[in-house]
């Protein structure tokens, strides 16, 4: 507070003209590039640059994190903790001048809104003014009464105007003007929080990078379902300047926020070339639509270190109609085959609990997804989010869902609650066994050998492993998971009297596990195999039955290492 105060002496008295602290804050699930407090930082930057009030306010950003050691686990204590820290930051702690006014802007999401609203109530009792925005508030701005003001939509223009109004007291806070619906700001004039320096992506190990806002599609479960259906692009000069900043700061990873990144192929290629020239060593994550990927674009993706995440959501045509998400399966498969042929890493998303989805149609969708060899398959429970088209049609569609965040579906016309719970277990098994278990190189060949679908295998894995020790549901140590996979599969092959096939499966799992760890850690590993590693690394391994019946076991010892930037192996004695 002291640095932000200006002082003038009059008649022997010191009068302090205090700048008003404006703190933009949020509560993060974790401290990671994906959880970086971009929304709060955008508002802080906009307030900082607002003509007319910039000299009157002292703007700062404060992010809390559920993972912080001192962050309380209980919700009521967490709200008190957040409120106390904000009071201290605003200079309202012990010894602060009475009547110090401060303004706190909360960025609210489904996972943090309850705690932030409770914190707001405490702050308001201390005379601090609170403003809330973010996706959860945008969805239903009149619902949350614990804040002085709620702002729906993008707040870069509306929040500074509101703060200016509060400071100038041009209107007293009142019920009628406590809910503000923002107009979409002009993206060519708003300031970048990175270039402004209000947030340093190095502190988060990476950046969330906005290239555009809006979406031309209207998937019923998404906030965009009731949006304008227009895409607004950030200007190229800002994009170039941010890239240069990422290069200067050697930012290791960037998550691109643009759900339609590759819909405009010309722009997508131009940006990929720009990225390759400015930040060749940074790893990028894109959201992409498979239907719009052709070979040229797939090749461009191979020129930078990157991974694509593709929304599949469902493969049930009835479901896709109900959620207003047209799907051209042929084009989708063609796009995926370009990615696989060119060697582009990609993951797929699926949502369970959508209207019209049955238990078996969802499992079929998962098995379809596995057949495409995604590097990861993210399986989400449907959230019936207020403010979406699906929320408005929930009764008509028979959706029963939690009335508070995260608004997960409990049952629908086709899925009983017990079946939704079974799909939750399947999602957990997929996360540990397939994603964290880095199973893509061998999952389909193991399932084929066992004559079992991927979903069946994962259901058994859940019952035999995760249900027995719930701690494993959160495990992300690949060596531990690999041991779980091998112990589980060894028993499964034995039960089916298929021990002889397990020797090859074991080699393939260990081989690709060691290669992937070496890729990550750049550390060598020594591995003893039942078969010659050349065969284990070959296409022969894609059919474990054929491999076992045609390749003679031959013990081999290998060492993994990094060769021209890639993990490789060599034989050792």
The residue ranges that bind ligand SF4 (CB under 6 A) are 215, 217-219, 222, 224, 259, 311
Cβ distance to ligand SF4 smaller for residue 380 or 561: 380
Distance of CA 487 to the CA centre of its chain: 31
Residue in the block written with tokens 């959620």: 323
**Nearest distance, CB of residue 215 and ligand SF4, angstroms:** 3
With CA atoms as reference, report the closest residue to 197 among 20, 29, 59. 59
At 202, list the tokens.
């190095």
**Nearest distance, CB of residue 217 and ligand SF4, angstroms:** 4
Cβ distance to ligand SF4 smaller for residue 224 or 507: 224
**Nearest distance, CB of residue 95 and ligand SF4, angstroms:** 48
Q: Which residues contact 549 (CB under 8 A, 6 or more apart)?
A: none
Contact 191, 49 (CB under 8 A): yes
Cβ distance to ligand SF4 smaller for residue 262 or 375: 262
Q: Transcribe 134-176 into DSSP letters.
A: SHHHHH-TTT--SSSEEEES--TTHHHHHHHHHHHTSS---GG
Integer Cα distance of 438 and 513 in angstroms: 7
**Nearest distance, CB of residue 401 and ligand SF4, angstroms:** 18
Cβ distance to ligand SF4 smaller for residue 80 or 216: 216
Residue in the block written with tokens 């590993």: 525
Q: Transcribe 498-526 into DSSP letters.
A: -HHHHHHHHHHHHHHHHHHHHHHH----E
Cβ distance to ligand SF4 smaller for residue 36 or 215: 215
With CA atoms as reference, report the closest residue to 433 among 381, 382, 377, 496. 377
Contact 191, 45 (CB under 8 A): yes
Q: Is residue 266 helix, strand or coil?
A: helix
Give the orientation angle of helix 359-371 with respect to helix 443-450, to 10 degrees: 120
**Nearest distance, CB of residue 279 and ligand SF4, angstroms:** 25
Q: Transcribe 60-126 into DSSP letters.
A: EEEEEETTSTTS-SSHHHHHHHHHHHHHHHTT-STTPPTT---EEEEE--TTTHHHHHHHHHHHHHT
Q: Which residues contact 100 (CB under 8 A, 6 or more apart)?
A: 18, 90, 91, 92
**Nearest distance, CB of residue 311 and ligand SF4, angstroms:** 6
Contacts 24+ apart (CB under 8 A), 228-237: 228/184, 231/260, 231/263, 232/184, 232/187, 233/187, 233/267, 234/187, 234/188, 234/210, 235/187, 235/188
Cβ distance to ligand SF4 smaller for residue 287 or 473: 287
**Nearest distance, CB of residue 292 and ligand SF4, angstroms:** 11
Cβ distance to ligand SF4 smaller for residue 335 or 441: 335
Integer Cα distance of 431 and 462 in angstroms: 11
Cβ distance to ligand SF4 smaller for residue 135 or 405: 135
95: left (phi over 0), alpha (psi -120 to 50) or beta: left
**Nearest distance, CB of residue 276 and ligand SF4, angstroms:** 26
**Nearest distance, CB of residue 187 and ligand SF4, angstroms:** 17
Cβ distance to ligand SF4 smaller for residue 196 or 318: 318
Contact 319, 354 (CB under 8 A): yes
**Nearest distance, CB of residue 557 and ligand SF4, angstroms:** 48
Integer Cα distance of 229 and 371 in angstroms: 33
Percent helix, strand, coil in the chain, to 5, is: 45, 20, 35
At 380, list the tokens.
């989400």
Cβ distance to ligand SF4 smaller for residue 64 or 261: 261
Cβ distance to ligand SF4 smaller for residue 318 or 473: 318
Contact 102, 20 (CB under 8 A): yes
Angle at 347 between CA 517 and CA 547, to 5 degrees: 60
Instruction: Give, for 9, the enclosing helix (H) or strand (E).
Output: strand 5-10
**Nearest distance, CB of residue 338 and ligand SF4, angstroms:** 20
Cβ distance to ligand SF4 smaller for residue 121 or 218: 218
Contact 115, 107 (CB under 8 A): no
Cβ distance to ligand SF4 smaller for residue 224 or 436: 224
Cβ distance to ligand SF4 smaller for residue 46 or 215: 215
């Amino acid at each position: 507070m002291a640095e932000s105060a200006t002082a003038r002496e009059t008649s022997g008295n010191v009068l302090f003209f205090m700048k008003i602290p404006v703190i933009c804050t949020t509560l993060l699930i974790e401290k990671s590039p994906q959880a970086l407090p971009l929304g709060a930082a955008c508002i802080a930057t906009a307030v900082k640059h607002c003509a007319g009030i910039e000299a009157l306010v002292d703007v700062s950003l404060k992010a809390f994190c559920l993972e912080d050691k001192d962050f309380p686990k209980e919700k009521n204590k967490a709200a008190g903790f957040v409120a106390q820290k904000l009071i201290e930051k605003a200079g309202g702690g012990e010894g602060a001048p009475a009547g110090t006014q401060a303004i706190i802007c909360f960025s609210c999401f489904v996972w943090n809104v309850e705690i932030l609203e409770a914190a707001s109530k405490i702050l308001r009792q201390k005379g601090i003014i609170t403003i809330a925005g973010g996706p959860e508030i945008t969805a239903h701005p009149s619902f949350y009464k614990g804040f002085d003001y709620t702002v729906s939509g993008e707040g870069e223009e509306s929040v500074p105007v509101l703060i200016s109004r509060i400071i100038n007291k041009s209107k007293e806070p009142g019920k009628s003007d406590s809910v503000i619906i923002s107009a979409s700001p002009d993206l060519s004039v708003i300031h970048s929080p990175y270039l402004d320096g209000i947030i340093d992506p190095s502190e988060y190990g990476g950046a969330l990078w906005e290239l555009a806002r809006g979406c031309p599609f209207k998937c019923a479960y998404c906030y965009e379902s009731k949006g304008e259906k227009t895409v607004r692009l950030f200007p190229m000069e800002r994009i170039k300047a941010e890239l240069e900043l990422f290069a200067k700061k050697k930012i290791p990873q960037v998550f691109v926020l643009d759900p339609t990144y590759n819909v405009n192929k010309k722009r997508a290629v131009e940006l990929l070339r720009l990225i390759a020239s400015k930040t060749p060593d940074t790893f990028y994550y894109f959201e992409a639509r498979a239907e719009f990927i052709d070979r040229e674009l797939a090749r461009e993706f191979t020129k930078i270190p990157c991974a694509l995440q593709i929304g599949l959501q469902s493969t049930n045509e009835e479901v896709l109609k109900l959620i207003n998400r047209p799907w051209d399966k042929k084009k989708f498969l063609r796009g995926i085959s370009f990615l696989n042929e060119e060697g582009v890493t990609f993951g797929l998303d699926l949502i369970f609990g959508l209207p019209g989805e049955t238990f078996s149609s969802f499992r079929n969708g998962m098995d379809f997804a596995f057949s495409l060899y995604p590097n990861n398959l993210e399986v989400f429970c449907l959230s019936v989010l207020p403010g979406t088209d699906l929320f408005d049609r929930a009764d008509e569609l028979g959706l029963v869902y939690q009335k508070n965040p995260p608004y997960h579906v409990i049952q629908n016309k086709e899925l009983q609650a017990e079946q939704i719970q079974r799909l939750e277990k399947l999602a957990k098994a997929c996360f540990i066994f397939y994603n964290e278990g880095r199973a893509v190189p061998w999952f389909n060949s193991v399932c084929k050998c066992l004559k079992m679908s991927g979903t069946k295998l994962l259901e058994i894995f859940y019952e035999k492993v995760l249900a027995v020790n719930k701690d494993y549901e959160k495990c992300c140590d690949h060596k531990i998971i690999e041991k779980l996979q091998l112990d589980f599969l060894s028993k499964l092959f034995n039960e089916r009297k298929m021990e002889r096939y397990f020797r090859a499966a074991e080699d393939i799992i260990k081989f690709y596990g060691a290669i992937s760890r070496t890729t990550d850690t750049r550390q060598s590993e020594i591995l003893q195999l039942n078969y010659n590693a050349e065969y284990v690394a070959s296409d022969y391994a894609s059919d474990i039955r054929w491999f076992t019946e045609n390749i003679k076991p031959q013990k081999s010892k290998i060492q993994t290492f990094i060769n021209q930037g890639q993990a490789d192996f060599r034989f050792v004695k």
